[in-house]
Amino acid sequence: MEVLQRKILPLLTLLSSFLLYYYLNGSRTSHNGCSLLQHSHYWIKSKRIVTPEGIIAGAVEVKGQKITSVLKEKDWHEISKGGHVLEYGEAVVMPGLIDVHAHLDDPGRSDWEGFPSGTKAAAAGGITTLVDMPLNSFPSTVSEETLKLKIKAAEKNIYVDVGFWGGLVPGNAFNSSYLEALLQAGVLGLKSFMCPSGINDFPMTDVSHIKAGLSVLAKFGRPLLVHAEVQLDSTKESDLDGDDPQSYYTYLKSRPPLMEEEAIRQLLTVSKDTSPGGPSEGAHLHVVHLSDASSSLELIEEAKRNGHSITVETCPHYLAFSAEEISEGDTRFKCAPPIRDAANKEKLWEALVIGKIDMLSSDHSPTVPELKLFGDGNFLSAWGGISSLQFVLPVTWSHGRKYGVTLEQMVRWWGEKPAKLAGQQLKGAIAIGSYADIVVWDPDKEFYLDDNYPTFIKHPSISPYLGKRLAGKVFATFLRGNLVYKEGKHARAACGVTILA
Ligand SMILES: *[C@@H]1O[C@H](CO)[C@@H](O)[C@H](O)[C@H]1NC(C)=O
Ligand SMILES: [Zn+2]
């Protein structure tokens, strides 16, 4: 008996201290495959951490899913450093990007993208949260039942967090109990089109539908996102008879800035309902993917001045490309509203930099290569939508450097403002109590998006960014404390969660 005690007790003590060690270091996370890291308590150290109080040299402490402290370098020695240290030198440490506008086409058209490849691409691009659009999947997300199909398709298939917008369509706009059921089931807000969407089960709305939708959204304090283009009598397809469908200018002519301007003009007759004291106070209007940097933007400015609750986003492709550089038949560049001329691009940058445009989104809208009709290069009949998801961080940065874009602005456009739109208070900032959703990247590292580059979107060949030289390479992406991506490799398990309001 005594022998037993002498030999076994020390062994047991040793064993339990091992167990305690592994427990504290969180090898639990590595066992379930969610993280490429063996630790759940660690520090991310760098000379450039972008916080709401500015850029600091220091360290971010992560425990479990959350950020538990943010220390400046000078205070680093003062603390008793429990936990593992990840040293990132000069690399930028900032909140993971939040993309409020992506079409992952799942369920129903997962051959176009799908949750697994789309969210792997997001993680590789430093995006930790995306909000999926209600159309291009089948069925569209326009009811409580179809939202449930979305959630089911996403579960265990997503490598980053995914929320959902519901669709506001003529079939549900005037039925408030139906819309309430959709909102209660967890969509973060609604989305509608003021022109044909290109998808049969997602018909367009007019201002009367939008007005009705806003009154329901007001009760939930959630936004309505609007594709703001309307068809004009002067832009009927018949007017293009005889124009070369392979010429980008034919397509551009079919969607003039006036389509955006006129839609926004109509929108402002109902956005006033969101003003303080208005019938839909609490609701919010958000204009998606603005392309026209002229009158449309002035109208939005006027609405903001008048107290309407309204914001606007644009997308990297409007900031990276101009009509002048789009070749005959190169339908990779087709999207709606269209990419306009170089002068418009300059004005978009100006508006973004001074804060007239609130935020950015990818509007990643892929399809199968066949529907891009590369063979005949017909701009009028090819699928409209730009494939970009994984590249938005380096694209924004590469082009933005010329305009003096700062790291703080990158965080405002891709973190802070989108988090607010999507109602995610615990995301979009390197701050105590926030989720440890973090991207680590090198703004100076340049690379070619060629065949050697690890791309994860399902159909890289349809992306207009392929072959481009970009600056800003993602090293590592953390999602809720899990290291989900590191230098070309993802964690084994898909541990993103569905975000329901
Ligand atoms: C409104 O939706 C509810 C389900 O939420 C349905 O029972 C009802 O028939 C609908 N009303 C109309 C007028 O379509
Ligand atoms: Zn879209």
Q: Which residues line ligand 1 (CB under 6 A)?
A: 175, 177-178, 181
- Residue 161: the pLDDT is 98
CA–centroid distance, residue 326 to ligand 1 (Å): 47
Per-residue pLDDT, 223: 98
Query: Cα–Cα distances in Å, from 254 out to 17, 230, 267, 373, 486?
Result: 71, 12, 21, 19, 43
* Protein residue whose Cα sits closest to atom 14 of ligand 1: 175
Per-residue pLDDT tens over the stretch 474-496: 999 999 999 999 999 999 999 99
89, pLDDT greater than 90 = yes
pLDDT in tens, 319-331: 999 999 999 999 9
pLDDT at 233: 84
> Alpha-carbon distance 349 to 73, whole Å?
34
Task: For the chain, give the number of residues.
Answer: 501
In this structure, are residues 160 and 120 in contact, taking their beta carbons and an 8 Å threshold?
A: no
15 alpha carbon – ligand 2 mean position (Å): 55
Atom 5, ligand 1: which residue's CA is nearest? 178
Q: Is 290 helix (H, G, I), strand (E, B) or coil?
A: coil
* Cα–Cα dist 490/124, whole Å: 8
Could you tell me the distance, in angstroms and rounded to a whole number, from the CA of residue 139 to the centre of ligand 1? 19
Q: Which atom of ligand 1 is nearest to the CA of 178?
A: 5
Structure confidence at residue 1 as a pLDDT band (50, 70, 90):
very low
Which residue is listed with tokens 């002035």?
A: 298
DSSP for residue 283: B
Q: Reduce the DSSP state of residue 9 to 3 states and report it.
A: helix
**pTM tops 0.85, yes or no:** yes
Instruction: Tell me the C-alpha distance between 34 and 439, whole Å.
Output: 16
For residue 216, which of 249, 168, 250 has the smallest C-alpha distance?
Answer: 168
Q: Which atom of ligand 1 is nearest to the CA of 175?
A: 1
In DSSP terms, 12 is beta-bridged to: none
3-state secondary structure of 89: coil
Task: Tell me what pLDDT residue 242 has.
Answer: 80
Query: How crowded is the C-beta side of 288, counted as CA atoms within 13 Å?
Result: 25
Helix (H, G, I), strand (E, B) or coil at 289: coil
SS3 at position 33: coil
Ligand index nearest the alpha carbon of residue 167: 2
pLDDT for 82 equals 74
Nearest Cα residue to atom 7 of ligand 1: 178
Residues 24-54 have pLDDT tens digits of 444 444 568 999 999 999 999 999 999 999 9
Average pLDDT over residues 128-152: 98
pLDDT of res. 26: 42
Phi, psi torsion values for 133, nearest 5 degrees: -80, 150
How far is Cα 396 from Cα 364, in angstroms, rounded to an integer?
14
Residue 22 is predicted with a pLDDT of 46
Which residue has a Cα nearest atom 4 of ligand 1? 178
Percent of the chain whose pLDDT exceeds 90? 89
Q: Which-ligand-closest: CA of 174? A: 1
Ligand 2 centroid–CA 66 distance in Å is 31
In this prediction, residue 29 carries a pLDDT of: 46
Q: Is the pLDDT of residue 155 over 50?
A: yes
- Asked if 158 and 119 count as a contact pair (C-beta separation under 8 A), the reply is yes
CA 213 to ligand 1 centroid distance, Å: 15
Asked whether 124 and 393 are in contact (CB, 8 A), the reply is no
Tens-digit pLDDT profile for residues 271-326? 999 999 999 999 999 999 999 999 999 999 999 999 999 999 999 999 999 999 99
pLDDT score at 75: 86
The pair phi, psi for residue 42, each rounded to 5°, is: -155, 170
pLDDT of residue 23: 45
User: What pLDDT was estimated at residue 15?
Assistant: 52
Show the tokens assigned to 378: 């017909």
- 69 touches 48 (CB < 8 A): no
What dihedral do alpha carbons 408, 97, 371, 398 form, nearest 10°? 30
**pLDDT tens digit sequence for 2-20:** 444 555 555 555 555 544 4
Order the strands of the 161-164 sheet from edge to edge.
97-102, 127-132, 161-164, 498-499
3-state secondary structure of 282: coil
Specify the pLDDT at position 8: 55
CA gap 430, 70 in Å, rounded: 8
Say how many Å lie between the CA of residue 365 and the centre of ligand 2: 6
DSSP for residue 329: T
pLDDT digits (tens, 9 = 90+) for 68-84: 999 999 888 766 667 79
**Structural domains present in the chain:** 97-426 (3.20.20.140)
pLDDT at 90: 98
Task: Tell me the average pLDDT of the chain.
Answer: 93
pLDDT in tens, 410-465: 999 999 999 999 999 999 999 999 999 999 999 999 999 998 899 999 999 999 99
Whose CA is closest to 141, among 191, 79, 92?
191
Question: What span, in angstroms and rounded, lies between the C-alpha atoms of 197 and 167?
Answer: 11
Q: Rounded distance, CA 220 to CA 165, Å?
A: 14
- Among protein residues, the one with the nearest Cα to ligand 1's atom 13 is 175
- Name which residue leads in pLDDT, 23 or 270: 270
Distance 287 CA to ligand 1 centre (A): 29
Collapsing DSSP states into helix, strand and coil, what is residue 301?
A: helix
Judge whether residue 241 has pLDDT over 90. no
Ligand 1 centroid to residue 279 C-alpha, Å: 23
Ligand nearest to the CA of 180: 1
CA–CA gap between residue 119 and residue 153 (Å, rounded): 13
> Where does the pLDDT of residue 385 fall: very low under 50, low under 70, confident under 90, or very high at 90 and above?
very high
Nearest CA to ligand 1 atom 11: 175
Q: Evaluate if residue 179 carries a pLDDT over 90.
A: yes
Q: Which of 146, 178, 180, 182 to mutate to test the pocket of ligand 1 (most atoms within 8 A of CB)?
A: 178
Q: How far apart are CA 230 and CA 262, in angstroms?
A: 7
* Ligand closest in space to the Cα of 175: 1
